[in-house]
Structure 1
């Protein structure tokens, strides 16, 4: 975690910097003796954690945090004044250390910051994975083999799919007849994006074409397609019903 130490007392800066050197996951990027210079630095540099004194000239630590409220940087206040504790926590500070700071208490505070940092990174990673999966699972078309040729089908034109033992029938918008192809539901589902929903052991529907949903049926272009009992709960949940 990249961090800044901001304190108008040089001795306090030295103590905190010495503490951070004992902790492998902390990297002190820079130290400041006033909050104003640190604020300018943060406008063009990203860090993860601030060790921030409160009583400083020109710009107090509290004023600085209020100016950084849209920032995701964590703050650990370091001060000799306990009366600021409540205000510190109202500003969502990760922790509040009273001077003189003992190393065990310092370690507890930075471990708390580390947990929050790792949780945030994990959340970002999960979101990126979901976005990547959605991106890779949203092709514009698929090819299916029908009789003696491979047909290109635009996914946006698929209304619903019906399973018939070893075959499936793909019903397209404004098409005179369905396309019959040798495939299983398992195989075709791998090719379909998230707007396709299996509602029955024999039916997959394109959610974009659903006109209405009844207790046990989905209405798509005047077609009444059954919802299987084993699929009901998942179907209603995904449709937000």
Structure 2
């Protein structure tokens, strides 16, 4: 009998291996990949261009919650299943994002078998039926070797030669939702994520004009331009001041010509109360 291809995502290595052990013990699954971050799984799917039967995903993870991961990875699987130590607490949230199953940690074999029976009797709904839009993604060049993203990968992404004979990393897909702000410095636009400890991590860079970013982000209500060189993601605004906003612990000023637009967008996002 052919096995079900699956992928497992959990930021805790021990929990990841525990889940994998139960899956292997049943003999019903072919584990295509085990990942400690959503981005690593996303990179895998971009490179392999394949679909698996189930993605088993933790919910509480530092780089991206399972509730966000389902938006980014749903098109790569027939079924998306949450694996969490807080199954009861997340049951309603799972229903809202159309998750196909919810398993408690540690995963039990009989619970897993019941899930498989349920999924086999269920006809996967189309993406239009789910009314679930995948998170837009941008490809970035060069991941800082000292960044959290690079250190999370044991071997790192493969290297390639840059046209200018500079060694850079392979392009990396990054969800727009993860970008806290971006800033043009010299010829490159630098993209930063904000971690829960208020530390910024360089996601990558692009040799682009800010005008190109206008074309990409003008349709996304989360992003607003602060001046000639900076865009911010309004979802990461923690405080609003008279001359700008705080994204994490970093204060970013707004130019006079863009202040009215910032105020309007803050009101649309219901963030203007953070004074």
Band of TM-score, shorter chain? 0.3 to 0.5
Rg larger in 1 or in 2? Answer: 1
Bigger relative contact order (CA 8 A; separation at least 6): 2
